[in-house]
Amino acid sequence: MENTFSDIKDPLYKDQWHLKNTTSISVNLKDGGQTKIDINVEPVWRQGYTGKGVKVAIWDSPIEHTHPDLRDNLAPENIMNNYAADGICVNNKKDSDTHGTNVAGIIGARDNNIGVRGVAYRSTLYSYAVIAPYWNKVIDENWTHIEEMLKSLNRPEAKQIAVFNGSLSDGGAFNGNAYKTNAAERRLLNKFDMLTRDGFGGLGASLVFAAGNESGMVGTPANNNFLNHYAAIAVSVIGVDGGIIKSKGKRNPFATTSVGPNIWLVAPSSKAMQVGGKLTTTDLVGDCGVKGDYTNSFGATSGAAPSVSGVIALLREAYPNLTWRDIKLILAESAKKIATNSSNDLPWKITGKMYSNMGKNQYYQRAMGFGLVDAGAALELAKSWTLLPSMKTETFENNIAFNTQTKDVIHTSDLKVDNSQINFIEYVVVDLEIEKDDIDLYMWTMSLESPDGKIAWIYKELENLHETLSVNETKLSFAVNSFLGSSIVNGTWKLKIQIKNTDAEKISKNKGDLNIKNWKITVRGH
C-alpha cells in the first residue's frame, strides 16, 4: 500500500512534484523495478523530522523576509537585506531578483497551511545576500560575491550552520575567466577547509552547490573551483521523466545538466524551456514577484541543489553526530540509480565497494553522479551507520614534464604510488601545472586511470559535442568522484590526454599547447 501524508494542508503541495510525484510517469531503476522522480521525503516527515533547530545558510540574492511562508523560519538576527528597504523592487518585475526567495522556499517554506512546503520546513534559514539583484551583475571585475561570501563566514553564527547552499559560480561561467583564481577566492577556498574542521560544532558543515546549467561538462568552466573542493556536493538535474540525455546519443538541447567527474547527486528540477515539470516555490510578494507570492516556473540546477540541502538538514536533526563526510557518503550510498534505456546513454560504472556494505558495489555515472537523492533511504541508512574513521590525506606527484603538441595521439604519463595507507578512497583530485596560460583548446580528452584499471573521464567528447578548455593561469585542478570506495591506491596511475586534429574550423581556433610541467593526485579517505 502506498504511503500517504494526509495531514499536509499547504494548498500548493499538490503541485510540488519534486516532493511527491503523483504523475503517471515512472522510470526504471538500474537494478530492476521502477520509481517516480521525487526525493521521497514523506517517510522522513512521518518520523517527526522537520529540520527544527538546524541552521541553513543560503548564498544567493536577498530573501524576501516578509514572505508569509518564510518569515517564521528566517533567523531574525540575520536579515541582511530586504527588497522594499533597498529599493530593489519598485513594482518592476523585470528588475526584481526572485532567485534567493525561490531557493529558500524549496529548503524551508513553513508548514502553515498556506502556499508551499519546504523539504526541511522547520529549519532556520540565514540569508547571505552575495549575489547582486540583477543577474548581469552577478559578478564584476572585483569578484564582489567572493568578498561577500568571505564576510558571511566571519559572522558569529557561521560555525553553527549545518548546511550552506550556493547557486553561484566561482566566476568562470560569467566573466569568461575560465579557471581564474584570484586572491580573494583562494581565501574563500581556505575558509571552506575551515568549515570542514570547525563548522557545525566541529563535525563540519555541508557545502551544497548547483552544478551549473551549461549542458556541458562541469568545469568548462562553470563553478570549477567551488565544485572541486573535497567537501562540495555538486548537484545536477533530473527531470520529472527521469531524462537527462536524449536517446541515440544526442544530448537534449534543453537540458540543464552539467556532465562531469565532480557531480555527486541529481535532484528533481526542470530542464530549461521544458513544458511542465518546473518547480513550485515561494516568490517575491505582491507585484514584485513573477506571479505574486509564489511561482510555478523555477528550475534548473538552482532548483535541484536546495532539495539536497533540505535533506541534509533533516539528517542533521535526526542524527546530529554525523560528520560532513558521513553525510556525503550516506547520500551517495542511498541514492537511486536511475536506469537509462538507450545503449548510447551514459553507463553506470563500478567505483568500488559501499562503506555500509562491503559486499555491495558502488556505482557512478557522469551525468547523475551517484544517483537521485532519496531522503527516506538516507534516513534509513543513517540508522545503522558506523561513523567514518579519521580522514587521511595523501599527495603523490609526477615531476616529469610532457606535452601534447602531437595531435590525434594519446599522450600518457605514469605516476607510481607504493606507500599509500588509504584503504577506502573518498575523494581524488588531479592537479596540473602547465607551462603557460592563455590557452584555448577544442576537441580534446583527458582521463585518469587507477592501478586496477578504472577509468575516470575528466574531459571527454560526449554525444557529438566537443568540450573547450580555456585557461588563463598555469595551475588547474579537477575533482574526480568515480573512485569512491576503491581500495586500490598503490600501483601505477595513468594520466591520458589527447587533442584531436580532425575539425579544421575548430582546430584553427586553437591557441597554445598543453605542455604539462608536473602533475599530482591528492587522495582523501581512510
- Is the residue at 6 inside a domain? no
CATH code at position 191 = 3.40.50.200
Worst-scoring range by mean pLDDT, 111-120, 281-290, 479-488? 281-290
353 and 427, same domain (yes or no): no
- CB count, 10 Å around CB of 270? 23
Contact 102, 298 (CB under 8 A): yes
Query: Residue 253: is its pLDDT beyond 70?
Result: no
- The three cell numbers of residue 138 are 552577478
Q: Given 316, 348, 383, which residue is the final one in a domain?
A: 383
Q: Are residues 116 and 205 in the same domain?
A: yes
Query: What is each CA distance from 217 to 170, 175, 435, 445, in whole angstroms?
Result: 15, 18, 24, 12
> Which pLDDT tens digit goes with each residue over 450-478?
999 999 988 775 544 455 666 666 788 88
pLDDT of residue 494: 97
Q: Is 1 domain-assigned?
A: no
pLDDT of residue 291: 58
What does the pLDDT read at residue 144?
A: 60
Closest Cα to residue 229, out of 201, 208, 200, 260?
208
Question: Residues 400, 363: one domain?
Answer: no
Is the pLDDT confidence value at 64 over 90?
Answer: no
How many structural domains are present in the chain? Answer: 2
pLDDT score for 96: 54
Confidence of residue 299 (pLDDT cuts 50, 70, 90): confident
Q: Specify whether 350 is located in the same domain as 397.
A: no
Is 80 exceeded by the pLDDT of residue 387? Answer: yes
Residue 513 resides in a domain: yes
The predicted model gives 93-104 an average pLDDT of 74
- Of the candidates 117, 150, 127, which has an alpha carbon nearest to the alpha carbon of residue 39? 117
In a domain, 5, yes or no: no
Rounded Cα gap, residues 381 and 276, in angstroms: 33
Alpha helices in 110-176 (DSSP H): 144-152, 172-175
pLDDT category at 177 given cuts 50, 70, 90 is very low
Distance CA 88, CA 103 (A): 18
- Please tell me whether residues 177 and 217 are part of one structural domain: yes
On the 0-12 / 13-18 / 19+ scale of CB atoms within 10 A, 418 is: exposed
pLDDT at 200 over 60: yes
Per-residue pLDDT tens for 412-427? 999 999 999 999 999 9
The burial class, CB within 10 Å (0-12 / 13-18 / 19+), for 24 is exposed
Question: Which residue(s) pair with 429 in the sheet?
Answer: 479, 522
Neighbouring residues of 55: CB distance < 8 A, sequence distance ≥ 6: 75, 123, 124, 126, 157, 160, 161, 162, 163
Same domain, 42 and 101: yes
Enter the DSSP assignment of 281: E
Residue 199, pLDDT > 90, answer yes
Q: What is the CATH number of the domain that holds 424?
A: 2.60.120.260
Better-scored residue on pLDDT, 305 or 148: 305
Give mean pLDDT, residues 222-241: 82
d(Cα 146, Cα 25) in Å, to the nearest integer? 41
Q: Which candidate, 328, 324, 304, places its Cα nearest to that of 484? A: 328
Mean pLDDT of 384-388: 98
- Sorting pLDDT into bands at 50, 70 and 90, what band is 181? low
CA angle, residues 211, 299, 130, in degrees to nearest 5: 60
Q: Can you tell me the distance from the alpha carbon of 514 to that of 511, in angstroms, rounded to the nearest whole number?
A: 10
Say yes or no: 170 and 248 in one domain. Answer: yes
160 assigned to some structural domain: yes
Q: How many CB atoms lie within 10 A of CB 1?
A: 3
Angle between helix 300-318 and helix 375-383 axes, rounded to 10 deg: 30
174: confidence class by pLDDT, cuts 50, 70, 90: very low
257 occurs within a structural domain: yes
Residue 22 pairs in a beta bridge with none
Is residue 464 one of the residues assigned to a domain?
Answer: yes
H/E element holding 516?
strand 515-525
DSSP 202: G
Range of the domain at 517: 392-525
- Which domain-ending residue is among 383, 400, 426? 383
Asked whether residue 375 falls in the same domain as residue 507, the answer is no
Three cell numbers, residue 311: 535533506
Q: Are residues 398 and 369 in the same domain?
A: no
Whether 264 maps to a domain, the answer reads: yes
481 pLDDT above the threshold of 50:
yes
Residue among 290, 282, 232, 242 at smallest CA distance from 266: 242
For helices 183-198 and 144-152, the axis angle rounded to 10 degrees is 30
**pLDDT value for 397:** 96
The predicted-structure confidence for 102-117, as pLDDT tens digits, reads as follows: 999 999 999 999 999 9
pLDDT at res. 508 = 59
Mean pLDDT of 40-57: 97
Give the DSSP letter string of 313-360.
HHHHHH-TT--HHHHHHHHHHHSB-B---STTSPPPEEEEE-SS-TTS
403 and 366, same domain (yes or no): no
Q: Which of 358, 383, 408 is the last residue of a domain?
A: 383
Closest CA to 101 of 152, 137, 78, 67: 67
3-state secondary structure 138-149: CCCCCCHHHHHH
